[in-house]
Amino acid sequence: MERQQLSDQFKAIYHQEPDLVVKSPGRINIIGEHTDYNEGFVLPTAIDKAIYVALGKRDDQEIHLYAADFKESYHTDLQSLAPTDKGWPNYILGVVNQLLERGLPLTGFNLFIDGDVPLGAGLSSSAAVECAVGYGLNNLYDLGLDRVEIAKIGQLAEHTYAGVKCGIMDQFASILSKAGNVVKLDCRDLSYTYVPLELGDYEVVLLNTNVKHSLASSAYNDRRQSCETAVALIQEKYPEVNSLRDVTMEMLLELVKPVNEDSFNKGKFVIEENERLNKACDALIAGDIPALGEQLFLAHDALSNEYEVSCKELDFLVDQAKKKDEVVGARMMGGGFGGCTINIVKKGYGKQWADELAPLYQEAFDLELTPIFVKTDNGSELVY
- Tens-digit pLDDT profile for residues 37-84: 999 999 999 999 999 999 999 999 999 999 999 999 999 999 999 999
Q: How far is CA 348 from the centre of its chain?
A: 27
* pLDDT value, residue 79: 96
pLDDT tens-digit map of 257-266: 999 999 999 9
* pLDDT value, residue 3: 76
Cβ-based neighbours of 279, under 8 Å, separated by 6 or more: 291, 295
pLDDT-derived band of residue 2, with 50, 70 and 90 as boundaries? confident
Question: Is residue 213 pLDDT above 90, yes or no?
Answer: no
Contact 176, 151 (CB under 8 A): yes
- Give yes or no: 222 in active site: no
In CATH terms, 3-197+378-382 corresponds, of 3.30.1490.20, 3.30.365.10, 3.30.230.10, 3.40.640.10, to 3.30.230.10
* pLDDT value, residue 163: 87
Backbone φ, ψ for residue 32 (5° rounding): 105, 70
Q: What is the mean pLDDT of residues 186-195?
A: 95
Catalytic residue among 36, 170, 222, 315: 170
CA–CA distance, 250 with 173 (Å, rounded to integer): 33
Domain range annotation of the chain = 3-197+378-382
Q: What is the mean pLDDT of residues 350-370?
A: 97
